[in-house]
Chain A
Amino acid sequence: MSQLIFEQSQPNRCAPTQMPFDFISDKAVDLPESSLRTTKPLLPEVSESQVVRHYTNLSKQLFSVDTHFYPLGSCTMKYNPHIMHQLASLPGFLNRHPLSLEEHGQGFLACLFELQEILKAVTGMAGVSLTPMAGAQGEFAGIAMIRKYHESRHDHERTEIIVPDSAHGTNPSSATMCGYTVKEIPTLSNGDLDLDTLKKAVGPQTAGIMLTNPSTLGVFERHIQKVAEIVHNAGGLLYYDGANLNAILGKVRPGDMNFDVMHINLHKTFGTPHGGGGPGAGPVAVNKRLLPFLPVPYVEKADEDYRWITETKATQSIGQLSAFMGNAGVLLRAYIYTRLLGPEGMPRVAEFACLNSNYMKKRFEQLGFNVDLPERRASHEFIISMKDQAERYHVTAMDYAKRLLDYGYHAPTVYFPLIVPECMLIEPTETETKETLDQFIDTMEKIKQEAMTNPEIVQKAPHTTPLKRLDAVKAARELNLVYTPTS
């Protein structure tokens, strides 16, 4: 592996042009001794060119959408248009302090207001708050609104959130953070929810249900209206996990499916870059009955002026989720993306995401892969299971994933959803060419042949990356989270 930046450090080396000149002393002479630092922090002492070379070289040991096909299911790794970064980085946007006066932010606020309106239109909801900083925070905000809604009606008996067994881990976790207990319900073998179980599961204790539609199994819940009816009749509300919105953008709206509240992952559906783990943004959209509870702040237009609505005006709001207004830079990028797509571009996203996915699913099926739910239409993603290969040749989904790295592909999501054994969740997105899909399919077929004739090459993959397979057990057992200098 590369040397750590600390290992390149030499005492008293530095980057002089980065230092302020016009200061009096490098101490805070006016402060009591007892409040001052006496130790030297472990920061590298290196030159500017060393820093640049080190971190540039590290960046080369990284798969990304701009460099690799990245069919990571459930994550919608589509092309992130470069113009978004350039325009969101204009000095007028970057240099504005969050507590600057509203009149010094009218350009910024106009973008946010219009983004709110666009998201309302595309979700079929009545109101939007852009403030949640990621999908999981959007989930938290959404469930907190459900809670506040029940409380506002003095309905204090509702203690349970229903979550299907195919849900993202964030769903049950967000429900817990909102003080709810989680009831898990099974999915039928045809991919739809088990309505009979649902009917038995709901009751006066039901606060709501969290659903991803299309689900993480890559199929649309065909009885969604029935599901909504059952939950609503029991007095519960419906939460839409927007992780898979890309599959239905501009075709079906969660509001029309009778969902009450949802979040949108802008870093998925609206093309903002994922930054190697974040920042994301998880705006929430609600129907009329949850409007009063939206998290603050959000933007209102009064005559020609844009202004923040805070809890002074939104007195029933669930409150603030961050110190300021959320991940502004991500929101600007998403706004730019929506303006580039326009009303015709939105449904094309879903159409071509689903075309790519169904095409791949069919070809895998034709090649004899064990495709999950072959009788169903795929959404923008689909599952293949490596259970047979694992049993017959001892080559697992993880082995396939690692071998794909050798061939220059980021691996699909593996072992999720939890209910399909040895699964790979493949999401090509709409921005990939047919050639890329074909090459990927050919590679998977090649790995399948390898698994039959030379399983070891797959089991021991990757071979071409800077490192071979890493020891996760050791990492957890001999915990080493920070560098300690040896001398």
Chain B
Amino acid sequence: MPFIPHTENDVHAMLETIGIRSINELFDEIPSELLIDQLPAIPKALNEMQIARLMKSRAKQDENSLCFIGAGAYEHHIPAAVWDIAGRVEYMTAYTPYQPEASQGELQLLYEYQTMMASLTGMDVSNASLYDGASAVAEAILMAIRSNRQCQAKRVLIPTTLNPLYRKTIQTIVSKQAIELIDVPFDEKTGRITVEAIDKIVTQEFAALVIPQPNFFGLLGDVDALTDWAHQRQALVVAVVNPMTLALLKEPGLWGEKGADIACGDAQPFGIPLSSGGPYLGFLCCKNEHVRQMPGRVVGKTTDVDGKTGYLLTLQAREQHIRRSKATSNICSNQGLMAVAATIYLSLLGPKGLKRVAAASHQKTMLLAEKATKLKGVEVLFHGHYFHEIVLQLPQSAKYIVQEMADSQIEAGLALGDFYPGLDNALLVCCTETKTEEDINKYIECLKQALKNKTFSK
């Protein structure tokens, strides 16, 4: 039987020790009418060679194209060493480091991870990971409500320029706790929210304002003014950022006069493959004063009985296995292995490499936009500063163009119509450093063709 090492002799000896005659007797406390003797709906067993053949043919089916989609998941180059090391069996097959003396390697690494993430976001501290970016924002909102003692209202402002997939997730996760989520609409010309506009809509007290930077469209907003505006109203600021962009963009800890209070998002761009959506790496960093409201595992530095430096899981009194129904979150398993990969990635890139990856991604996206807007009828949709991702306004349905270009093995971007009524012709496009000028030219050529096809078919 697969992965079961017992010989017949073993089984006999073990049964004899237990004092029973057959393995089935081990289940004699279970009401007999509940026991089943077969599982007809399950396909018959394969050996390793057969499953390899099956999976290779399935993976082959999905191999294709040049990807220009971003929208929360980014294709960056992953150095070979990242998964050679993160994939080592010690990292891969350990459990949560409950026994610190047997897990110093993992714990020290997570301490390094926390340091890197806190520094990138300009925050004081970081936790050791959450599931993904969307659920991290949901946790940050719950945390902000707990942490903001000056505000009685369980009300949070969320711009509609926050990734719509994140907004859906937040709705699922926080809505059971009588929390009111107020949508803040964006300005149709600039694709952003402004202090003036938000000031008009918001009349009631609120616990936190969520600020995405860049926003879902790739646009930079006036985060300083928004942060100060929220702080003047005794609200906390939850920054939602793509951490890759922080190599160049101002860190949330320095937004406005006092800086954002919590910074979160998805660290998938740091060495984690696209992999159809997961596993990714939710991160959450915050200022010191909120640390005891943080969800999830946190690694702290300490000493052993001989005074040597070591690391362990700390502040466990916040967590479900101790506080049970009063814990800061129900999270138990997190995305530890992804944090291992991200830490190795960040070490390989260093401050200089990370800056170059961010700059190259940005410049290539701009190059693509420049070339695309030379095509008849193609424009940049909103006026403003984009970073790393951009919205093109096409002369026809973006969904149609995406479909057309897919036939030529190009994933053209995300058609925004499904998420934003009225933006049917808008296409969210992203380049990363992985795209060459040739790739971009191929994209433009293909886009040109797709636009033409439509004209002919009319």
Distance between Cα atoms of A81 and B55 in the complex (Å)? 15
Q: Is A65 an interface residue (CB 8 A)?
A: yes
Q: Is B359 an interface residue (CB 8 A)?
A: yes
Distance between Cα atoms of A45 and B106 in the complex (Å)? 21
Interface flags for B375-392 (1: CB within 8 Å of A; 0: not) read 000000000010100000
Q: Is A197 an interface residue (CB 8 A)?
A: no
Q: Is A368 an interface residue (CB 8 A)?
A: no
Are B348 and A92 in touch, CB under 8 angstroms? no
Known: A173-B327, A173-B330, A470-B101. A101 touches B88 (CB 8 A): no
Distance between Cα atoms of A175 and B329 in the complex (Å)? 11
Q: Is B112 an interface residue (CB 8 A)?
A: yes
* Across the A-B interface, the 4 shortest Cβ-Cβ residue pairs: A342-B45, A324-B277, A277-B336, A275-B337
Number of interface residues of A (CB under 8 A): 209
B105 CB contacts on chain A under 8 angstroms:
57-62
Distance between Cα atoms of A283 and B35 in the complex (Å)? 23
Across the interface, name the chain A residue whose C-beta is closest to B34: A252
Interface-side segment among A198-206, A346-354, A384-392, A448-456: A346-354
A150 CB contacts on chain B under 8 angstroms:
none
Chain B residues 338 to 360 lying within 8 A of chain A, measured CB to CB, are: 338, 340, 343-344, 346-360
Supply 16 A–B pairs (Cβ within 8 Å), ascending by A. A20-B357, A104-B65, A122-B39, A136-B333, A274-B94, A276-B103, A279-B336, A323-B166, A340-B46, A343-B40, A416-B321, A462-B101, A467-B304, A467-B310, A470-B100, A471-B303
Distance between Cα atoms of A251 and B39 in the complex (Å)? 9
Interface flags for A157-201 (1: CB within 8 Å of B; 0: not) read 000000000001110111111110110000000000000000000
Q: Is B373 an interface residue (CB 8 A)?
A: no
Are A95 and B75 in touch, CB under 8 angstroms? yes
Distance between Cα atoms of A198 and B448 in the complex (Å)? 69
Which one of B4, B44, B69, B320 contacts A169 once the chains associate, using CB atoms below 8 Å? Answer: B320
A89 CB contacts on chain B under 8 angstroms:
83
Are B305 and A276 in touch, CB under 8 angstroms? no
Are B329 and A340 in touch, CB under 8 angstroms? no
Distance between Cα atoms of A174 and B414 in the complex (Å)? 34
Q: Is B422 an interface residue (CB 8 A)?
A: no
Across the interface, name the chain B residue whose C-beta is closest to A17: B79
Are B101 and A465 in touch, CB under 8 angstroms? yes
Distance between Cα atoms of A465 and B310 in the complex (Å)? 12
Across the interface, name the chain B residue whose C-beta is closest to A398: B99
Are B101 and A468 in touch, CB under 8 angstroms? yes
Are A330 and B279 in touch, CB under 8 angstroms? yes
Q: Is B261 an interface residue (CB 8 A)?
A: no
Q: Is B203 an interface residue (CB 8 A)?
A: no
Which one of A4, A276, A338 contacts B96 once the chains associate, using CB atoms below 8 Å? Answer: A276
Q: Is B171 an interface residue (CB 8 A)?
A: yes
Q: Is B224 an interface residue (CB 8 A)?
A: yes
Known: A92-B61, A343-B40. A279 touches B278 (CB 8 A): yes
Q: Is A371 an interface residue (CB 8 A)?
A: no
Across the interface, name the chain B residue whose C-beta is closest to A57: B105
A257 CB contacts on chain B under 8 angstroms:
34
Q: Besides A58-B104, A253-B36, 7 other CB < 8 A contacts?
A: A23-B364, A57-B105, A63-B102, A87-B52, A103-B406, A220-B30, A343-B44
Which one of A77, A90, A340 contacts B45 once the chains associate, using CB atoms below 8 Å? Answer: A340
Distance between Cα atoms of A433 and B6 in the complex (Å)? 6
B48 CB contacts on chain A under 8 angstroms:
83, 340
Are A144 and B331 in touch, CB under 8 angstroms? no
Q: Is B134 an interface residue (CB 8 A)?
A: yes
Distance between Cα atoms of A267 and B334 in the complex (Å)? 12
Q: Is A140 an interface residue (CB 8 A)?
A: yes
Known: A22-B436, A52-B81, A320-B172. A136 touches B330 (CB 8 A): yes
Are B335 and A67 in touch, CB under 8 angstroms? no
Are A176 and B19 in touch, CB under 8 angstroms? no
Chain A residues 41 to 93 lying within 8 A of chain B, measured CB to CB, are: 41-46, 48, 51-52, 54-68, 70, 72, 75, 77-81, 83, 85-93
Are B356 and A26 in touch, CB under 8 angstroms? yes
Smallest beta-carbon distance A196→chain B, Å: 20
Distance between Cα atoms of A96 and B346 in the complex (Å)? 23
Known: A83-B48, A483-B115. A250 touches B39 (CB 8 A): yes
Are B169 and A322 in touch, CB under 8 angstroms? yes
Which one of B23, B276, B329, B360 contacts A98 once the chains associate, using CB atoms below 8 Å? Answer: B276
Which one of A55, A92, A277 contacts B58 once the chains associate, using CB atoms below 8 Å? Answer: A92
Are A37 and B29 in touch, CB under 8 angstroms? no
Q: Is A261 an interface residue (CB 8 A)?
A: no
Q: Is A107 an interface residue (CB 8 A)?
A: yes
Distance between Cα atoms of A469 and B125 in the complex (Å)? 25
Distance between Cα atoms of A249 and B402 in the complex (Å)? 44
Are A58 and B248 in touch, CB under 8 angstroms? no
Interface flags for A433-473 (1: CB within 8 Å of B; 0: not) read 11000000000000000000000000010100111111110
Interface-side segment among A229-237, A284-292, A358-366: A358-366
Q: Is A432 an interface residue (CB 8 A)?
A: yes
The CB with the most chain A CB atoms within 10 A, among B116, B125, B163, B354, is that of: B116
Q: Is A482 an interface residue (CB 8 A)?
A: yes
Are A430 and B29 in touch, CB under 8 angstroms? no
A172 CB contacts on chain B under 8 angstroms:
320, 324-325
Q: Is A327 an interface residue (CB 8 A)?
A: yes
Are B248 and A28 in touch, CB under 8 angstroms? yes
A48 CB contacts on chain B under 8 angstroms:
79, 81, 348
A356 CB contacts on chain B under 8 angstroms:
14
Known: A97-B73, A136-B320, A376-B29. A34 touches B224 (CB 8 A): yes
Distance between Cα atoms of A172 and B330 in the complex (Å)? 8
Smallest beta-carbon distance A262→chain B, Å: 15
Are A101 and B93 in touch, CB under 8 angstroms? no
Across the interface, name the chain A residue whose C-beta is closest to B338: A279
Are A92 and B62 in touch, CB under 8 angstroms? yes
Which one of B1, B114, B171, B356 contacts A20 once the chains associate, using CB atoms below 8 Å? Answer: B356
A83 CB contacts on chain B under 8 angstroms:
48, 51-52
Q: Is B397 an interface residue (CB 8 A)?
A: no
B362 CB contacts on chain A under 8 angstroms:
28
Q: Is A302 an interface residue (CB 8 A)?
A: no
Distance between Cα atoms of A4 and B116 in the complex (Å)? 12
Chain B residues 44 to 68 lying within 8 A of chain A, measured CB to CB, are: 44-48, 51-52, 54-65, 67
Across the interface, name the chain B residue whose C-beta is closest to A478: B302
Q: Is B120 an interface residue (CB 8 A)?
A: yes
Distance between Cα atoms of A259 and B293 in the complex (Å)? 34
Smallest beta-carbon distance B212→chain A, Å: 13
Q: Is B200 an interface residue (CB 8 A)?
A: no
A134 CB contacts on chain B under 8 angstroms:
131, 331-334
Known: A220-B29, A330-B279. A36 touches B101 (CB 8 A): no
Are B62 and A279 in touch, CB under 8 angstroms? no
Q: Is B133 an interface residue (CB 8 A)?
A: yes
Interface flags for A212-228 (1: CB within 8 Å of B; 0: not) read 00000001101011000
Smallest beta-carbon distance A200→chain B, Å: 20
Q: Is B442 an interface residue (CB 8 A)?
A: no
Are B39 and A343 in touch, CB under 8 angstroms? yes
Which one of A79, A363, A405, A475 contacts B3 once the chains associate, using CB atoms below 8 Å? Answer: A79
Chain B residues 131 to 154 lying within 8 A of chain A, measured CB to CB, are: 131-135
Distance between Cα atoms of A479 and B315 in the complex (Å)? 9
Are B169 and A93 in touch, CB under 8 angstroms? no
Distance between Cα atoms of A77 and B357 in the complex (Å)? 38
Are A348 and B301 in touch, CB under 8 angstroms? no
Q: Is A474 an interface residue (CB 8 A)?
A: yes
A432 CB contacts on chain B under 8 angstroms:
5
Distance between Cα atoms of A256 and B30 in the complex (Å)? 12
Known: A42-B116, A51-B348, A326-B277. A251 touches B36 (CB 8 A): yes
Which one of B57, B249, B338, B347 contacts A46 once the chains associate, using CB atoms below 8 Å? Answer: B347
